[in-house]
Amino acid sequence: MTATRMWRPVNLPAAGSRTDDIWFADALNGWAVNSDGLILRTADGGDAWTRQAHLAESYLRCVSFAGRDIGWVGALSGPNRLYATRNGGLDWSAVTSLPSGAPGRICGVCAVDEQTVFASGTNYPNEDAAILRSRDAGQTWQVLDVPGAALLVDIFFESPQRGWVVGGVDNVRHPDRAPVRADIVPGVFHTDDGGETWTNLVQSNAAAGEFPRGEWGWKFQKLNDRVLFVSCENFLDGAILRSDDGGLTWSRLRVNDSQRNSNLEGIGFLDEQHGWIGGWGDRMFVGGFTSVTEDGGKNWQAANDVGFRLNRFRFIGSPPAIAYASGDTVYKYSDEPVAPSIAAIAATSRRETIGENEVVLETVVPVGCKLFQVRVWERFGREVAMLADERNPQAGPRNLLWDFSDRTGARQPPGGFIVRFTCDDESTSQLIYRERRK
């Protein structure tokens, strides 16, 4: 590991909640999708970014490209679940030809080549999980079943035939109710026939009681032919899964740093010993902690200077010369000097609102706004409320009261939520939290 390399934020303003995913075709050319409904593009390694699309009604979760031209973006909500480009993102179009049985939310997407793409979802155990596959650049699609999967998140294929998808398995199978997150244990599924059949590589671990309930696989990394990693999301604990024999056997390694990092999502190993893990940090989605290991995941230390709320790592080169990670913004691992303007981004204050029974959300409707909307999502991407939907609204300050009720009037449990304020083609997001009653 080069001593002078370090993590630093690139020149991209922090998203209201998070930049959920990034994809880099090489060290310079990359794309990002964020909680403000934006698809962004850089051609210089993150120094400058251009906005390619604004999807105001959608929560964007994942992005993948085959080269620099053919790309795909998956969404958790909004009018469409998948978007495609054939010219590097200059134009994006909704994929409207998805067949019956397609997952209702796309959590992971992998463009294997210009013809072959896979997408996975959903991340809710009470919704049907499945995989989408196209072998003709998105002209037609097939729905692939993954037996036993209660939820599916990240997906990776190294060829049109060989791939992995991670998520969770319902370890309770209660006959009188739908699965809930507290029932779930990790699942790591593998295929060698293009997704026609799947094997859960960690089924024996679950059967032996090695996994706690309320935990599922979130992100997957294939470091080399022997070493594979999976991050585990668990509101109350932090752990990763590691295999050193190509997926034949797996070990669960706890993230044992002093800050008790949990609710983990993004994972990235530079080599077999040195890696990072990040995510929401705690059950209330507040901490945003990052941890580092120097011994392959056996021991961890706090590394919050690496990034905040990290959800994805991407590595460039073999061995990697540069890496990127996405969280509240995008971070870059390199030996480049830190420019003052970039350092200032890391110190930018983050708007957050906290309440127990209700919150007041302050905003300003600009003069000339033709459509003003305020949406609320819970932290896994389900839209729960529309607080404003006005055409030709009156300009000026607004105070919007939300009592944590969804569209049906049901009160939402304590936790974090994402509020998006949209005026015509501009959006911004912020986090709000419902506190637990003391």
**Domain-terminating residue out of 346, 363, 388:** 346
Mean pLDDT across 180-201: 98
pLDDT over 90 at 100, yes or no: yes
Q: What is the pLDDT of residues 339-396, one digit of tens each?
A: 433 333 333 434 577 888 999 999 999 999 999 999 998 988 889 999 999 999 999 9
Q: What's this model's pTM, rounded to 2 decimal places? A: 0.91
The whole domain housing 376 covers 352-434
The distance of Cα 90 from the centroid of its chain, to the nearest Å, equals 23
Q: What is the pLDDT of residues 289-344, one digit of tens each?
A: 999 999 999 999 999 999 999 999 999 999 999 999 999 999 999 988 654 333 33
Q: What is the pLDDT of residues 119-143, one digit of tens each?
A: 999 999 999 999 999 999 999 999 9
Mean pLDDT across 85-113: 97
pLDDT at 343: 34
pLDDT over 50 at 28, yes or no: yes
State the sign of the Cα–Cα–Cα–Cα dihedral 45, 49, 51, 57: positive
Q: What angle do CA 262, 268, 269 make, to 5 degrees?
A: 115
Residues 46 and 332: their CA atoms lie apart, in Å, by 8
Q: Quote the mean pLDDT of the chain.
A: 93
pLDDT at 36: 87
- Please report whether residue 271 resides in a domain: yes
Residues 316 and 204 in one domain: yes
Give the domain CATH number at 267: 2.130.10.10
- Please report whether residue 1 resides in a domain: no
Q: How far is CA 379 from CA 205, 278, 304, 356, 405, in A?
A: 29, 16, 21, 17, 15
Give the domain CATH number at 411: 2.60.40.4070
State the sign of the Cα–Cα–Cα–Cα dihedral 329, 292, 318, 159: negative
pLDDT at 34: 92
Mean pLDDT across 239-264: 98
pLDDT at 173: 82
Domain count across the chain: 2
Residues 290 and 154 in one domain: yes
Tell me which residue of 355, 351, 308 sits closest to 330, measured CA to CA.
308
pLDDT at 178: 85
**Domain-terminating residue out of 294, 319, 346:** 346
Residues 60 and 205 in one domain: yes
Q: Beta strands of 270-311 (E only): which ranges?
A: 275-281, 290-293, 301-302
Token look-up 């991340």 returns 123
